[in-house]
């Protein structure tokens, strides 16, 4: 007979590691005293979204809605109507399920609600294609007044969480499932609507968000070995996008690669292309996903679906070649 | 019958007449489901909101989850001084606060923007939770359509309201039995409806939704019930008060009222003969 007790039970994957969702969950607790109006809404996945930290620290401000995201999303609008700041948390794919509630009862009604989605993109990994949300940035970016954020590392996630809570109006923010490397120092600054140059360069600009920022930096190293000097821009705000920075990069580097763990349609690449087309058109190559995903580890999937550092470097060489032909 | 009841009953007639005029001047709108809920809305407004309109961060709130019935709500708001007479010819007009479905940005007192069925119910649950979290005694009322109950979100909301024990939330179902295309039963049956709500943990009252005394009794009972929310299933007649519309799904949808149709409706609703032409050409409201 087994001696296993509940205390010896399995450790939840979601509660370990240096992931964006854990960084978000810890930041919520850290900033809760500063924002006493914050309440956190969950649909039975607090262990996976990082909000288990908040549940432990502030059980009276944690509202369990059960597995019913549509009700949770619209109810957030009602909570906000009483002056509270609801933070709706779920997996990205289930936020998509409640997209219309986010549209009408939050954005159209101009409610101060924060929607925070973990498990975006191929970064979801083994759960497979049904769970890998590749459409959320496009969908939420299309909603007027909706701020769309996708921070790149735990330090930036902490800062973005505070900025999101301080912002008056609806926000959609992506976290992430898998452990990610550190990109920024403790003195990193985050400002809504602003991107930053995280690596200088003159031959082209790689614009990335989320987990792709780390891959873009690795691609830039590969390219340097070939004599290509790639600039890397971290673009944590997709809507409104930092058009001024993009215009500046177009003047100084003349070519772009965008990199995102998202569909090629409607996400970061589209936002960058739309901005440049209006201000200063430049050749662009899009590193993004072009089909549904499947089970596998995140790094394996990044390679299989061509959003790894090699794919970014290939796209960079291609776009540089295009500028030389032009 | 008391004097008050006569007055409120007259008020309902006037709200119905204004509802028809609003839709006539708009050139489109949903008359059937607006007229069916007039008695419930008018009783509730007169009782809860006549002195203190809804729309604040605290206090009582009415949410019209069946947002397409907003002509009745706008007519009522005009009767209680929230909307000027000139708005009665501006429903659905460019730049008007009277949007085709309630818009909380242009009319804060509607509580939330509705028009996508099911969502107003969830917003009402959220509002009731928010008030309770902040120890506010305000009550939340939400008016649901019967066809609306085919939306799965309604049952998510119903389950959650009972789970949270929201006894300060009252739902009212405008059970006129008809929806856009046909009878509920022929589209997607709702029965046994009262049993469904009971099974979801709600206190249930079934009334004649055109009987003001019955509405009074049901809502006041709802205010006394503790630990669980109450639903008032109000049996109503679609198009109530305008004989050619009554009980016909033809008048559910967004329809255009012709001059003679408005005139006939206004006559039935006791608009004085000498006012008919000015209601029709709009000068009555200028």
Using an 8 Å Cβ cutoff, are B174 and B209 in contact? yes
Using the predicted structure, report yes or no on whether residue A10 has a pLDDT greater than 80: no
Question: Would residue A294 count as lying in a domain?
Answer: yes
Q: Which of A143, A174, A205 is the last residue of a domain?
A: A174
Question: Would residue A247 count as lying in a domain?
Answer: yes
Q: How confident is the model at residue B1 (pLDDT cuts 50, 70, 90)?
A: very low
Would the CB atoms of A75 and B123 count as touching at under 8 Å? yes
Catalytic residue among A22, A30, A34, A69: A69
Distance in Å, alpha carbon of A70 to nearest chain B alpha carbon = 6
Check whether residue A206 and residue A315 sit in a common domain: yes
Q: What percent of chain A has pLDDT over 70?
A: 94
Question: Would residue A38 count as lying in a domain?
Answer: yes
More confident residue, B248 or B276: B276
Using the predicted structure, report yes or no on whether residue A13 has a pLDDT greater than 70: no
- What is the interface size between A and B, counted as CB pairs within 8 Å? 111
Tokens describing residue B153: 């979100």
Give the separation between CA A131 and CA A151, rounded to whole angstroms. Answer: 20
Check whether residue A74 and residue A169 sit in a common domain: yes
CB nearest A74 (choices: B104, B111, B122): B122
Residue with tokens 């919520």: A28
Question: Would residue A149 count as lying in a domain?
Answer: yes
Check whether residue A155 and residue A201 sit in a common domain: no
Using the predicted structure, report yes or no on whether residue A168 has a pLDDT greater than 60: yes
Q: Which of A174, A208, A242 is the last residue of a domain?
A: A174
Q: How confident is the model at residue A247 (pLDDT cuts 50, 70, 90)?
A: very high
Spatial CA neighbour of A96 closest among A129, A139, A125 = A139
Range of the domain at A277: 196-325
Q: How confident is the model at residue A1 (pLDDT cuts 50, 70, 90)?
A: very low
Domain map of chain B by residue range?
A: 3-285
Question: Would residue A202 count as lying in a domain?
Answer: yes
CB atoms within 10 A of CB A129: 15
* DSSP string for residues in A116-140: EEESBSGGGGGG-TTT-B-SHHHHH
Check whether residue A126 and residue A221 sit in a common domain: no
Interface of B to A at Cβ within 8 Å reads: 57-58, 61, 103-105, 111-116, 118-131, 133-134, 136, 152-153, 156-157, 159-160, 163
Check whether residue A109 and residue A255 sit in a common domain: no
Mind listing the pLDDT tens digit for each residue in A70-105? 999 999 999 999 999 999 999 999 999 999 999 999
Question: Would residue A319 count as lying in a domain?
Answer: yes
Mean pLDDT, residues A29-33 taken together: 98
Angle between helix A154-166 and A20-31 (nearest 10): 40
Give the separation between CA B247 and CA B188, rounded to whole angstroms. Answer: 18
* DSSP string for residues in chain B: --HHHHHHHHHHHHHHHHHHHHHHHHT---HHHHHTTHHHHHHHIIIIISSS-S-SSSS-EEEESSGGGHHHHHHHHHHTTSS-GGGGG-TT-TT-SS-SS--TTT-GGG-S---STTHHHHHHHHHHHHHHHTT----EEEEEETGGGGSHHHHHHHHHHHHTT-TTEEEEEEE-SB-SSSBHHHHS---SHHHHHHHTT-EEEEEETT-HHHHHHHHHHHHH--SS-EEEEEE--TTTT-TTTTT-GGGTSS-PPPHHHHHHHHHHTT--GGGHHHHHHSGGG-
Q: Which of A174, A205, A224 is the last residue of a domain?
A: A174
> Cα A1 to the chain's mean position, in Å?
46
Using the predicted structure, report yes or no on whether residue A16 has a pLDDT greater than 60: no
Q: What CATH number does the domain containing A266 carry?
A: 3.40.50.920
Chain A hits for B158, CB-CB cut-off 8 Å, are none
Distance in Å, alpha carbon of A106 to nearest chain B alpha carbon = 9
Distance in Å, alpha carbon of B112 to nearest chain A alpha carbon = 6
Question: Would residue A235 count as lying in a domain?
Answer: yes
Mind listing the pLDDT tens digit for each residue in A272-301? 999 999 999 999 999 999 999 999 999 999
Indicate the average pLDDT of chain B.
Answer: 96
Number of domains in chain A: 2
Check whether residue A217 and residue A161 sit in a common domain: no
Q: Which of B55, B64, B68, B119 to mutate: most A Cβ within 10 Å?
A: B119
Q: What CATH number does the domain containing A99 carry?
A: 3.40.50.970
Q: What percent of chain B has pLDDT over 70?
A: 98
Check whether residue A169 and residue A200 sit in a common domain: no
3-state secondary structure of A106: helix
A69 is catalytic: yes
Check whether residue A168 and residue A211 sit in a common domain: no
Q: What's the pTM?
A: 0.96
CB nearest B127 (choices: A39, A61, A78): A78
Check whether residue A118 and residue A209 sit in a common domain: no
More confident residue, A248 or B6: A248
Give the separation between CA A73 and CA A194, rounded to whole angstroms. Answer: 28
Q: Which of A69, A71, A73, A101 to mutate: most B Cβ within 10 Å?
A: A71
Q: Sheet of A230-234: strands edge to edge?
A: A196-199, A230-234, A204-208, A256-263, A284-289
Check whether residue A25 and residue A143 sit in a common domain: yes
Indicate the average pLDDT of chain A.
Answer: 95
Structure confidence at residue B140 (pLDDT): 98
Question: Would residue A180 count as lying in a domain?
Answer: no
Check whether residue A247 and residue A297 sit in a common domain: yes
CB atoms within 10 A of CB A295: 15
Chain A hits for B128, CB-CB cut-off 8 Å, are 78
Mind listing the pLDDT tens digit for each residue in A207-240? 999 999 999 999 999 999 999 999 999 999 999 9
Mind listing the pLDDT tens digit for each residue in B110-143? 999 999 999 999 999 999 999 999 999 999 999 9
Chain A hits for B157, CB-CB cut-off 8 Å, are 71, 74-75
Q: How confident is the model at residue A6 (pLDDT cuts 50, 70, 90)?
A: low
Span B3-285 CATH architecture: 3-Layer(aba) Sandwich (3.40)
Mean pLDDT, residues B1-21 taken together: 84
Structure confidence at residue A99 (pLDDT): 98
Q: How confident is the model at residue A15 (pLDDT cuts 50, 70, 90)?
A: very low
């Amino acid at each position: 007979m087994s001696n296993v007790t509940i205390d010896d039970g399995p450790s939840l994957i979601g509660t370990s590691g240096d992931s964006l969702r854990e960084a978000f969950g810890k930041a919520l607790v850290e900033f809760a005293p500063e924002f006493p109006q914050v309440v956190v809404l969950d649909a039975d996945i607090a262990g996976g979204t990082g909000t288990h930290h908040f549940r432990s620290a502030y059980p009276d401000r944690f509202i369990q809605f059960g597995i019913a995201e549509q009700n949770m999303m619209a109810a957030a609008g009602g909570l906000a109507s009483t002056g509270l700041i609801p933070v709706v948390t779920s997996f990205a794919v289930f936020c998509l399920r409640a997209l219309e509630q986010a549209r009408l009862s939050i954005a159209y009604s101009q409610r101060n609600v924060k929607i925070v989605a973990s498990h975006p993109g191929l970064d979801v990994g083994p759960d497979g294609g049904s769970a890998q949300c590749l459409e959320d940035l496009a969908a939420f970016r299309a909603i007027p007044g909706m701020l769309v954020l996708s921070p790149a590392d735990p330090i930036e996630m902490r800062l973005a969480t505070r900025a999101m809570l301080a912002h008056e109006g609806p926000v959609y923010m992506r976290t992430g499932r898998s452990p990610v490397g550190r990109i920024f120092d403790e003195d990193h600054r985050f400002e809504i609507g602003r991107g930053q140059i995280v690596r200088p360069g003159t031959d082209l600009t790689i614009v990335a968000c989320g987990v792709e920022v780390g891959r873009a930096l690795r691609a830039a190293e590969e390219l340097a070995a070939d004599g290509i000097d790639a600039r890397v821009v971290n673009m944590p705000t997709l809507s409104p996008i930092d058009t001024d920075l993009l215009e500046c990069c177009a003047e100084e580097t003349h070519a772009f690669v965008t990199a995102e763990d998202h569909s090629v349609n409607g996400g970061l690449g589209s936002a960058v292309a739309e901005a440049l087309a209006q201000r200063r058109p430049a050749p662009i190559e899009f590193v993004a996903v072009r089909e549904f995903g499947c089970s596998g580890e995140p790094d394996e999937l990044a390679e299989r679906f061509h959003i790894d550092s090699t794919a970014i470097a290939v796209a960079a060489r291609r776009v540089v070649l295009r500028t030389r032909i032009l | 019958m008391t004097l008050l009841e006569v007055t409120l009953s007259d008020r309902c007639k006037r709200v119905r007449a204004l509802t028809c005029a609003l839709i006539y001047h708009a050139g489109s709108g949903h008359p059937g489901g607006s007229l069916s809920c007039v008695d419930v809305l008018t009783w509730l407004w007169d009782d809860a909101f006549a002195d203190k309109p809804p729309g604040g961060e605290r206090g009582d709130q009415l949410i019209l989850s069946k947002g397409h019935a907003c002509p009745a709500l706008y007519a009522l708001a005009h009767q209680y001084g929230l909307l000027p007479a000139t708005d009665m010819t501006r429903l659905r007009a460019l730049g008007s606060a009277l949007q085709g479905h309630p818009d909380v940005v242009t009319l804060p007192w509607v509580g939330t923007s509705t028009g996508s069925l099911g969502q107003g119910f969830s917003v009402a649950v959220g509002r009731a939770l928010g008030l309770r979290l902040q120890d506010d005694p305000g009550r939340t009322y939400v008016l649901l359509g019967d066809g609306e109950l085919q939306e799965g979100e309604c049952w998510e909301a119903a389950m959650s309201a009972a789970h949270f024990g929201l006894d300060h939330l009252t739902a009212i179902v405008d059970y006129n039995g008809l929806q856009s295309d046909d009878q509920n039963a022929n589209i997607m049956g709702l029965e046994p409806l009262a049993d469904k709500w009971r099974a979801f943990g709600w206190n249930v009252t079934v009334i004649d939704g055109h009987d003001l005394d019955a509405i009074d009794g049901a809502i006041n009972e709802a205010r006394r019930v503790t630990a669980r929310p109450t639903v008032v299933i109000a049996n109503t007649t679609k198009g109530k008060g305008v004989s050619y519309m009554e009980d016909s799904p033809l008048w559910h949808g967004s329809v255009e009222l012709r001059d003679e149709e408005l005139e006939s409706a206004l006559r039935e609703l006791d608009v004085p003969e000498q006012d008919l032409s000015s209601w029709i050409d709009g000068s009555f409201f200028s």
